[in-house]
Chain A
Amino acid sequence: MPLDTSTYALALLRLDGRRWNELRRIHAQISTQAAADGSSYLEMGNTQVICTVTGPAEGRNTGAGRSGGKEGEANLEVEIGFAGFSGVDRKRRGKGDKRTAEMAHTLSTAFSSLILMHLYPHSTISIHINILSQDGSILAACINAATLALVDAGVPMTDYLVACTAASSPTTSTSAGSDDVSDPLLDLNAMEEQELPFLTLATVGGGEKITVLVMETRVRVERIEGMLAVGIEGCKRVKDILDGVVRGFGV
């Protein structure tokens, strides 16, 4: 699906009218599901994600020594489901889908290092995520929603894990005229993800340190620095927004 990005060079506005360093509208709520121990609903532009957290509780598969995770630590289960109507065309994604499994693995390893797992030996914390609408930055939306739901569930964590995407588009500055110079973009939608090399990164508490970094498209090594810089800046802003959501709920 080739996308006409030529207008970007002229007006410096992206397809949806944003500038290069603008996030889409982030709207989030917590404590949305009564049945879960913690839950959240998050919109990043047209990407909509709902997340529930159950636990820490005794795991379902309580075989010999299988209820907890590592020795003396809790086990973190992550399940991600794509709603049939979430994409442009109705496509069912089975349980065995490796891309979904990879996303779930990312979330579980990222949050395992953040949650104080040693406080809950022999127990399981499960995160269920449902993607209601897909419009880019899905992994980032899942991470942000999971953070909110974990905060809502009262699971002790060292800090927030916040994520966003960053891309690198061909340069607009006419002076340089070489391929090495590129313009970074923040928070991509689905159309931009199809077209541009992008990465998803997550930082702890909106700091400088990167916990998750996933990139799936080929890009010159020189461009990565710019993408990382913009991504980290974006994560800081996402952190402030999520912080506001949690504080707003507390009032």
Chain B
Amino acid sequence: MPRAAEISVNEREFILQGLKENIRLDGRPFDAFRSLELNFGDEHGVADVQLGKTRVIARVSAEVTAPFVDRKFDGIFNISTEFSPMASPAFEIGRPTEAENILSRILEKAIRRSGALDTESLCIIAGLKCFSLRADLHVLDHDGGLIDASCIAVIAALQHFRRPDVAVEGENATIFSIREREPIPLSILHHPICVTFSYYNAGGIMLVDANLAEEQVREGEVVITMNRHGEVCQIAKYGGVSVDALALLNCTSVALEKVKDITKFIQRRLEEDAKKRDVGGLIAELSAENAR
């Protein structure tokens, strides 16, 4: 398959010249995200994130399995990513690119390792039964900023997801279907959000949320994952141009601002969605049962 067309000299020079004159291609300030949109599916646990032209969908699902032998008290949580050829002809199914590996590693570190999800709450009977949670991430359109968009999608989907209720009597566990009992939200301990910074001009210029063209021109990047409480969950700078330690610290404070905004945005969208579901939804169904 012919390789992706690399960005032309003219475009490269134009973008760099623009950045030196404080102009980005889409007219954004250097520290601004593209327009962020978040929608939830009809089912619980489906989040559709659009960051400019980039679009990713995350879906969380749960099933009951036996826990790992060495982790009897923990449930299982996995994140799997898939770059579909829908996003770009460069992606092939079943042949992960380096970018895909890095994306899934960073999500793994940002969300799983940082303990965003309380996996102990997924345990039903220690050593015998637990919930196995799976977040599937699909990239539908690729215009840069995949890591940031994916992280927002997974976090939003986890917050939106409801797992079935269970009742435990001794060794027996009953899993109630959605019709029998109101499903329960997951216990999420903190909400990590990734912010990617791109460097240009030997580290002198720093951009937030570069689009695909800007990503192709950049000299280095650092992905910082934080939550709104000011905890850094993960930092990944895999090389590229060298940056002053102070500039990196400055990045963390910019990231904190962005993370607070995005967390607030997700919260607002979740509340709007909950309000929408409340009207004639499950709650009304339950109340009809009570009247009988």
A binding-site residues for B, Cβ under 8 Å: 65, 71, 98-99, 101-102, 105-106, 108-113, 199, 203-204, 207-222, 224-225, 228-229, 232
Contacts and interface: CB of A to CB of B under 8 A. Distances in A.
**4 residue pairs, one from A and one from B, having the closest CB atoms:** A110-B239, A109-B239, A209-B242, A215-B235
B36 to A, nearest CB: 23
B238 A110 contact: yes
B75 interface: no
A212 B233 contact: no
A228 B249 contact: yes
Contacts of A203: 242
Nearest to A207: B242
A218 B240 contact: no
Contacts of A209: 203, 242-245
Given A98-B105, A105-B98, A214 B238 contact: yes
Contact of B249 (A101, A111, A220, A224): A224
B150 interface: no
Given A106-B238, A214-B238, A228-B249, A113 B220 contact: yes
B6 to A, nearest CB: 7
A217 B226 contact: no
Interface in B88-108: 98, 101-102, 104-105, 108
A40 to B, nearest CB: 20
Interface in B197-244: 203, 219-220, 222, 226, 230-244
Chain B: interface residue count, which band? 35 or more
A212 B237 contact: yes
Given A203-B242, A204-B242, A221-B226, A213 B232 contact: no
B119 interface: no
A45 B265 CA distance: 47
B234 A216 contact: yes
Interface string B239-275: 1111111001100110010000000000000000000
A215 B240 CA distance: 16
Given A210-B248, A221-B232, A113 B115 contact: no
Nearest to A99: B105
Contacts of A215: 232, 234-236
B292 interface: no
A191 to B, nearest CB: 18
Contacts of A218: 114-115, 231-233
Given A213-B222, A215-B234, A216-B109, 14 more contacts: A98-B104, A98-B108, A101-B101, A105-B98, A105-B102, A105-B238, A109-B240, A113-B220, A211-B241, A212-B239, A218-B232, A221-B226, A221-B252, A221-B256
Contacts of B237: 210-214
